[in-house]
Structure formats: C-alpha cells, structure tokens
Amino acid sequence: MEISNKKVRQYINRLLLARMRILCNHGFYGLLLMHMIYSIDEGCETAYTDGVRIAFSPFFLEELPDKELDYVLMHEILHVVLQHCLRGEYKDNERYNIAADIVINSTIMHENDDKASSITLSKYGESMHIAPDGKEGYLYTAEEVYEMLQSKQKIFDSGNKKSNAKRWDDHSQWGKFEEDSKLRDVWVKNFAECCEAIKVRDASNNRGSLPMFAQRMLEKLKKPQTDWRTILNDFIQEEICDYSFSPPDRRFQDSPFFLPDFNEMGKNDNVSDVLFFIDTSGSISDNDMTTAYSEIKGAIDQYDGKLQGWLGFFDAAIIEPKPFSSFEEFNVIKPAGGGGTDFQIIFEYVNQHMKEKEPNCIIILTDGYAPFPKEELANDIPVLWLINNQDVTPPWGKVARFTVRA
C-alpha cells in the first residue's frame, strides 16, 4: 500500500529531529549529516546511502527506537565520509561490505561510548566490529580488513562468533552515483569545513571534540602532495634514460602519465626493459584496474613505441609477465587475477626467472594494502610504487600517487 504524503513528511521530520539530536550529542556527526538529503524508499528493506542521500524503509524506520536510529544515521554518514560508497565494484562485494561495516561499527563504539562493548539493534542483533586478527576494526581501513578476510577465508573471528546478527545495512547503491569523482571532491570539502567548525566550537566550550578518525583524516589532507607525474618523470630520467629531454609532447598534455618527449638525439634510442606489474587482487575494483591499465597504455603511446619491457599481473600469485615492444603488442595483454595481495612474489619472480635479463626498473601499480617485503629483495633494481590512495606509504622505493578516474 502506498504511503501518504502526510506520513512521508512525518518520517522525514523524525529523521531531521534525529539529526538535531545527534548534532547536540555528537556534534561532528551532526554537522556531516547536515549535508545529506533524506528520503523514504518503500523499495528498500532497511536503510542505505549512495553518497548523496540517506534513505530509509518506512517499516525499518518505525521499528527503530531513537537511540538505534541515531546509530544508523551515524553509521551511514561514516560510509560517506570514509568514501566506502564511492570506491566502485570489488571482486567480492560482500566481503568488502562486511569489512566496511566492521570498521564503521568499531569507530562509532570507540569514538562515542568508551563503556560500550557492542552495538545492537534490537531486531538484528549485535553489529560486527572485530577485525579477523581479533583487534577492533577502527584500527584499520576497510581495505585492510578486506585483505584480512580475503587471506583468512572467513568472516567471523572469535570476537564476532558470539554475534548472530543479521546484516541490515544495504550497500546496493554504492558506486552508482554517476559523478563519483566530483562527489569525492565535494565530501573532502565538506569534511574539512566540518572539522574547522568543530575546532572553533571547541575553543569556546567543552561540548566534545573532533573524533580521532577525523583527526587522522585531517592530518592526511594537510600533508603537501607532490604531483605524481613529476615523480614519474624524474624516475624515468634518473633510472633509465641517460640522454636529455625536450618539452612534453602537446598531444598528451592531458594524460595522467605526463612523460617528456625525446629530443632528436634521444629518439634513436629506446627506453627498454621496464617491468610493469598491476595489482589484480580482490581489493582492486574494476575502475581501479581500468585506470591502471590505461595509464600504462598512455605512457607507451606517448613514447611513440620507444618504451619497451614487460607487463605482468599479481595477486597472491604471479601472472607471468608478457614482453611488449610496441603499443599493439601491449594492447593484447589482458588483466588476470583476483585473489589476495603479496608484493614479495614480484621480487622472488624477478630473482628466479629474470636473472639473465634483469629489468632496468620495476613499476608497481597497486592500492598498497598488503605487507611490504624487505628492500634487499629488490637487488638494487629501482622500484616505483604507484599508489591509488593516500592511506598507504611504502617503507622504501619511490612513491607516487594517481587518482582513479570515475
């Protein structure tokens, strides 16, 4: 039966009152919630967010006491702030959903009630909040918990076994917003403004402070970022080329691989024996994969066929690198993989199978969510890590970061 407009307005009013209550009790969350649109969706079983709005099933909303409703709203807005709903399709979406919820639930517990040992919805049971290693989820990112779940092939550890909770949070709308990159920028701005507002408020009274997770995020935003294209240019020049460069080819000025063109002397030489590896683990989304693949293709194209080497893929195992000496040869090499992530196997493969023709350098495109091997394994071969986020910093090698295209 269709719900009347009057009833819908009553539901929305309750959500707005809950938002005001959260603003009073948990100021930072309340400020973030001011940026959301609220709606009632009869086709939804529980509640969801797509990064723009938070929607509730009317039946789910009716069964929630105020305290549980506040928790659900804080849960949804954290998915937005931590950009879980903007990160695209994962190889195992259900596993990523669980990882994201573990991080969110633990963060809410840790930030808002030191005495709480769990968060429970009366009709859904205790919410998961323990990572597979037995520690609280707030200590990790969703991607790190995803990798733990992937490697251990199980969902619950001892801390979650006592929970018989049904999952209530609907993630089906994640990644469906057509302009994710713009939405991501909007939320970075919203987040920074909310942090500033809380800091101003804290200077005049003691009604709470900036949550720890927000402080960590804010510190990352404040760190000056070097354009990764510049790092890549320097890396190519320092480690591979011993000739000079002319200004960049204008045909490729919009390419994320902003590589310099050769001068007339250099055009007689090749940039050779470059070993590319692309992370194809389960934590890499299809959008991540497409971006990484197109970046390398753009680099080869920009070098007018002068960039030669190998392209390989890896997750928990190596997909044997294929040689290429032209754009056409590269274009037929297709991605493969989808398991866990292991960086060590890259260097073990090079040491075991490429001794007679070592690469001049290794360029690894990854999200970085795996343990890093010891630098000695690289055997003095220069390594450039191209990371698609701000969360991970490799302990050695050169590092650059690229933005995933929407």
- pLDDT (mean) for 280-293: 72
Q: Phi/psi at 319 (nearest 5 deg)?
A: -95, 115
- pLDDT (mean) for 97-105: 90
- Given a cut of 90, is residue 349 above it in pLDDT? yes
Averaged confidence pLDDT in the chain: 76
Q: Phi/psi at 23 (nearest 5 deg)?
A: -60, -40
Of residues 292, 303, 291, the one with CA closest to residue 363? 292
Token readout for 33 is: 């919630």
Token readout for 51 is: 């990064």
The residues facing 319 across adjacent strands are 313
- pLDDT (mean) for 363-388: 89
Write down the pTM of the prediction.
0.56
Contact 46, 168 (CB under 8 A): yes
Of residues 14, 107, 101, 96, the one with CA closest to residue 58? 14
The residues facing 400 across adjacent strands are 386
d(CA 31, CA 202): 14
Judged by DSSP in three states, 26 sits in: coil
Contact 198, 27 (CB under 8 A): yes
d(CA 257, CA 231): 10
Q: pLDDT band at residue 249, thresholds of 50, 70 and 90?
A: very low
Long-range Cβ contacts of 197-203 (<8 Å, 24+ apart): 197/31, 198/27, 198/28, 198/31, 201/27
* Cβ atoms within 10 Å of 69's Cβ, excluding its own: 22
Q: Any residues with CB less than 8 A from the CB of 393 and at least 6 apart, and which?
A: 368, 387, 399
- Given a cut of 60, is residue 101 above it in pLDDT? yes
Contact 396, 376 (CB under 8 A): no
Q: Any residues with CB less than 8 A from the CB of 289 and at least 6 apart, and which?
A: 278, 280, 335
Contact 174, 52 (CB under 8 A): no
Read off the amino acid at residue 2.
Answer: E
Q: Note the pLDDT tens digit of each residue in 37-73.
A: 999 999 999 999 988 899 999 999 999 999 999 999 9
Lowest mean pLDDT, pick from 8-12, 68-72, 322-326: 322-326
Q: Which domains are delineated in the chain?
A: 5-222 (no CATH), 228-401 (3.40.50.410)
Lowest mean pLDDT, pick from 12-21, 61-70, 266-275, 325-334: 266-275
Q: pLDDT band at residue 298, thresholds of 50, 70 and 90?
A: low
The residues facing 48 across adjacent strands are 55, 170
The sign one gets for the Cα dihedral 15, 18, 24, 27 is negative
- pLDDT reported for residue 91: 58
Tokens 């002397």, residue located: 265
d(CA 130, CA 159): 6
